[in-house]
Structure 1
Amino acid sequence: MVPLLLLPLLWGGSLQQQPGYELRVQRSVRVQEGLCVHVPCSFSYPWSPWLPYSTLYTHWYHRVDSEYHLVVRNNADEPVKTDSRSRFLLADPRNNDCSLSIRDARTSDSGTYQFRVERGNDVKYTYNKKMLNLQVTALTEKPIIHILEPLEAGRPTQLICSLPGACEGGSPLTFSWIRAAVDSLNPQTLHSSVLTFTPKAQDHDTSLTCQVTRQGSSVTTERTIWLNVSYAPRNLTIGVSFRNVTALKILQNTSSLPILEGEAVRLLCEADSNPPAELSWFRGSPALNATPISSTPTLQLPRMGTAEEGEFTCRARHLLGSQTLSLNLSLLWKSMSLVGVVPVAFGGAGVMALLSLCLCLLFFYIVRARRKPVAERPQVRDGEDPVVGTATWGSKQKLGADQASPSGAAPPSGQQQELHYANLNFNEMRPREPQDQEATSSPVYSEIKKTSK
C-alpha cells in the first residue's frame, strides 16, 4: 500500500493533465458479485529518444477511504493487495494496452480506479483526469439452458447450463438440475453443467430447472424452462355420439357397433401427439395414397342406412409415425327394437338380449293360455258345428232345420248378444276313408279359447 501523502511526490506533479498523455477507458462499469468483467483500455504518452532503453511499467490503483491501494501491475517488485492478487489481470502494455480484467468480483471491489504509467526517468504519470468507477451489485443474473437439438421422445440428447458473466479462474460454480423425470439419473450428472438424458412423451410440457451456486456463497440463481418434446401419436380413440350426445369411446381396433336405422351418427377421432397429428377418415383400411372421405377429425353420418354400413378407419399421420383405428358400423332395423330402448350395444349382444326377451314373453303367454281350466272351455251342443265352435244368434237361424235350435226362436227380449272367438290349430287334414263314410267325421283342433268382447 502506498500512503496517500507520498503519491504526489512519486507522481511528480502529474495531477495536472500534461500534453501527450491520453487515456481511453469507460467512466463507469457495473458487474454482479461472483462474475467477471473486462474493461477495455488504451493509453498514450510523449515519446523520447531515451525511451527504447527503459522498461515500461503500468499500474492500476484502487481508492478506498482516501487511500490508494495497488491491485495490479506488471512490475514484480511492487506488492499488491492480497485479496486482489490473481483476480485482477493486466494486459501487455507494449501495445499501449491498459485493459483490466476482474474475476470473481466482490462487493469490496467497488470504488474508483486510476491508471499510472512509468518508463525510465522521463515518463512517470497518473491519469487522474479520467478514472474508472466500478460498481459490484448483488447476483441476479440467471443461467441459460442451451438445447443442442430438438427434443424427440426416445432419442438421447444433451442440455448445457451456463451462467453469463462467469469465467475461468473465478470461484467454482455448482450446478443442480431439478426435475422429476431426471431424478433417476446419476447424481454426478445432475450436478454437472451438462445434462444427458432421453426424453419421453410424458416429459412434454414439463419444467426443468438449473440452479447455480457460487462456491463460498449462499446466493443461488436459477432458471426454469418448459420442455417441448416431439412424439408420435398415442392413445388414439374414436368417440361416437348420437344427436350431439356422446355415447361411448372406442379404444381398440375391430370394434363393432350396431346403429338404429335412420339415426344420425357423429364420429370424432382424437390422438395425443406433439406436434398435433393430421387426422382423416377412410372407408375400410386406407391404402398408401388413398383419398380420405374426410380430412378433419369429425365424420358426420346424417342418416344411418345400408349405405353407411361397414368399416370406418381414422388415421393419425405424424412425422415420427402414424397410427390407425377402425370401427365397424352395422344397421339395426327399427322393427327389431322396442320402443324406448336405445340401440347402443357392442358386438350384437344387446340385440340378442332384446330378441330373447321378446321370445320369453311370447312363450309365457302361450303356456299361460294352455293351462286354463277345462271348465272354462265352451261345450259343444247338439246341432252346432264343432269346427266353428260357437256362433251368434243370427247365424243359428240360417242353419238347417236339423241343426237349428229346438225353439228356432230369437234370443229372449232384452238379452245382449254375445260374441265368442276361437284360437284354432290344425295339425293335419286327411281325406275321409271309404269305410268310415257312415261314421261321424270329427275335425282335429288343439284348443278353442273362448273370450268375450
Structure 2
Amino acid sequence: MVPLLLLPLLWGGSLQEQPGYELRVQESVRVQEGLCVHVPCSFSYPRSSWFSSGTLYTYWYRDGDNTGHKILVATNNEVKSVKTEFRNRFFLADPKTNDCSLSIRDARMRDTGTYFFRVEKENCGNYSYKEKKLKLQVTALTDKPDIHIPELLEADRSTQLTCSLSGACEGGSRLTFSWVGDALDSLNPQTLHSSALTFTPRPQDHGTNLTCQVKCAGSSVITQRTIWLNVFYAPRHLTIGISFRNVTALKILQTISSLTILEGEAVRLLCVADSNPPAKLSWFRGSPALNATPISSTATLELPRVGTAEEGEFSCRAWHPLGSQTLSLSLSVVRKSVSRAGVVPAALGGAGVMALLSLCLCLLFLYIVRARRNPAAGRPQVRDGEDPVMGTVTWGSRENRRPDRLPREMIPAGDAPPSGEQQELQYVNLNFHKMKPQKPPDQEVTNSRVYSKIEKKSK
C-alpha cells in the first residue's frame, strides 16, 4: 500500500529524477538589465506511460523563495494566466519537439530568482522537474555597444556605420541611439538617433573621435563606445622645405617654383606631403616619367656642393594608392664673383659693394668738410633744411660767383695748371640717387670700381 500512496507525490514531482524524466538546462544564467537572454532547454518523459493523445502543456514557474508559493511566468496553455510583470517578456518554445527553451526580453532586476520547469498532458498526468532548477541573475548594464565599419573610410566617399548592443534583441526594450563627433557637425541632427549612420568623411576628420551612446527605455543608465576615425586620403598640400649649411634650422614649408643658389653652397631639399597612409616620397631630375628612376627614394634630397651641373628642374613625387601628386622646383646657380639681386641670403655678394660705396661716401664727406674749413676757399651757401651731403651739393655760391683760383689743397698732385695759365674754378654737381639694380647675372664683372667723373667746362 505504501508505494501506491507515494505514487501521486512522485507523479507530481520529487527531488529525485524519475525514470524516463530528464531535463537538460544550464543551472545558472546571467543577463544585464534591459537586455535579452535565451536559455536552451530540452526535456523527455516516458511516452509509454503518457499514452494519451491529449495536448501537451509546458510551464515555467518562479520558485516562491522559501514560501512555497510558485509564480507562473510562461506557458503555452492559454487557459492559465501569467503574472503581469512577466507577460510578453518570458516566452516558451514549442513543446512538440521536446523543446523547453526559455527566452527573456528586457530583463529587470526583480527577475533575479530560481525557476523550474513543469510538463502536463491532458487526461494523463503532470511532472515538475524540480530536481534541476534554473538560477537567473540580472546585473547592471555595463556592456559597451559595438560600432561596425563595413569598409575602409575613404575621404569624400559615403559610408554607413552601425551601432549595436550585444544582448539586445528584437522586440525587447526600446533602445535610444545617439551619435556624437566632430565629423558629424554637418549632418542633420535627426539622423544622429538611429542605429545606422550614413556620412561622408573628410580628410580633416582623420584622427577625430566618434561616439555611439545607447540608452535602454525605462533605465537611466547610458552605455557608450568611442572609436578613432582612420580616414584614408590622397596627398594634399605638397610642399618643399629648404635648409642651408650656413643657416641653422631654417625650414621653409611653402610651395615655391624656383630657387637661386650661390655656387658651392650646400643645400638640402625636403618634400612634405599630407596624406593617410603616408605617401611614398621620391626625387627626380626633371619631370618624372612613368618608370623613371629616382635620384633619391626618400623625402630628402642632399646637394652638398651646388655647381652649374645642378642647374635645372628637380621634382618631388608623392605616390599614394588613392592618387599621386608631383611638385617641381627650378634651381639656378650664381657664381661667387657676381652680385645678383634676388639671390638667397647665403649668396648675397652685393654686401661687399655696399661696404665699398659707404667708404667712398665717408671720404667724400671728409673732403668736403676740409674744403669748407679752408679760409681761402669760397664758402658755399646752404639753404635752410638742406643737407649738403645727401642732397645736391654745389661748390660755390648759388649766384654762380666763382673764386679767382682753386685752393691749393684741392689741386691733386701732377694736375697743377701750367705756369702762367689762369685756371678757372670748375663746378661739380654730386647727385646721390637711389641705388640702381646691378647688372644682369649673365654679364660677368671681374673688377668693381666706384668713382666720380669730373668734366671740365669750357671757358
- Relative to the length of structure 2, the TM-score reads 0.75
Q: Give aligned-pair identity as a percent.
A: 64
What CA distance in whole angstroms lies between the structure 2 residues aligned with 1:357 and 1:176?
Answer: 70
1:249 aligns with 2:282: no
Matches within 5 A, 1:351-430: 354=351, 357=354, 360-361=357-358, 364=361, 373=371, 374-375=406-407, 376-378=409-411
Q: Closer, same or farther in 2 for the Cα pair 1:280/1:364, shift >3 Å?
A: same
What CA distance in whole angstroms lies between the structure 2 residues aligned with 1:21 and 1:81?
Answer: 27
SS at match of 2:337: helix
Cα root mean square deviation, aligned: 3.4
SS at match of 2:183: helix
What CA distance in whole angstroms lies between the structure 2 residues aligned with 1:275 and 1:24?
Answer: 54
How many Å apart are 1:137 and its aligned residue? 0.6
Which ranges of structure 2 fall in alignment gaps of 5 or more residues? 1-7, 372-405, 420-450
* 2:239 match: 237
Give the conservation status (yes or no) of the 8 Å contact 1:58–1:118: yes
Q: Closer, same or farther in 2 for the Cα pair 1:307/1:99, shift >3 Å?
A: same
Q: Closer, same or farther in 2 for the Cα pair 1:318/1:385, shift >3 Å?
A: closer
279-288 or 362-371, which deviates more: 362-371
SS at match of 2:70: strand
What CA distance in whole angstroms lies between the structure 2 residues aligned with 1:132 and 1:425?
Answer: 115
* 2:14 match: 14
Matches within 5 A, 1:241-280: 241-243=243-245, 245-254=248-257, 256-280=258-282
Give the conservation status (yes or no) of the 8 Å contact 2:240–2:256: no
Which ranges of structure 1 fall in alignment gaps of 5 or more residues? 1-7, 390-423, 428-444, 447-453
Matched to 2:254, the amino acid is: L
Give the conservation status (yes or no) of the 8 Å contact 2:14–2:131: no
* 1:411 match: none
**Bigger Rg, which one:** 1
* 2:285 match: 283
1:212 aligns with 2:214: yes
Cα shift readout 1:139-158 (whole Å, capped 9, x = no counterpart): 01110001111101100111
- Relative to the length of structure 1, the TM-score reads 0.76
How many Å apart are 1:49 and its aligned residue? 6.7
How many Å apart are 1:309 and its aligned residue? 1.9
Matched to 1:245, the amino acid is: T
Aligned counterpart for 1:82 among listed residues 65, 81, 84 = 84
What is the aligned length? 380
What CA distance in whole angstroms lies between the structure 2 residues aligned with 1:123 and 1:260?
Answer: 109
What CA distance in whole angstroms lies between the structure 2 residues aligned with 1:379 and 1:293?
Answer: 63
What CA distance in whole angstroms lies between the structure 2 residues aligned with 1:192 and 1:304?
Answer: 63
* 1:201 match: 203
* 1:327 match: 329
* 1:43 match: 43
Q: Closer, same or farther in 2 for the Cα pair 1:219/1:50, shift >3 Å?
A: closer
Q: Closer, same or farther in 2 for the Cα pair 1:211/1:385, shift >3 Å?
A: closer
Give the conservation status (yes or no) of the 8 Å contact 1:181–1:203: yes
SS at match of 1:334: coil
How many Å apart are 1:336 and its aligned residue? 3.8
SS at match of 2:99: coil
Q: Closer, same or farther in 2 for the Cα pair 1:14/1:124, shift >3 Å?
A: farther
* 1:105 match: 107
How many Å apart are 1:241 and its aligned residue? 1.1
* 2:313 match: 311
What CA distance in whole angstroms lies between the structure 1 residues aligned with 2:268 and 2:177?
Answer: 54
* 2:159 match: 157
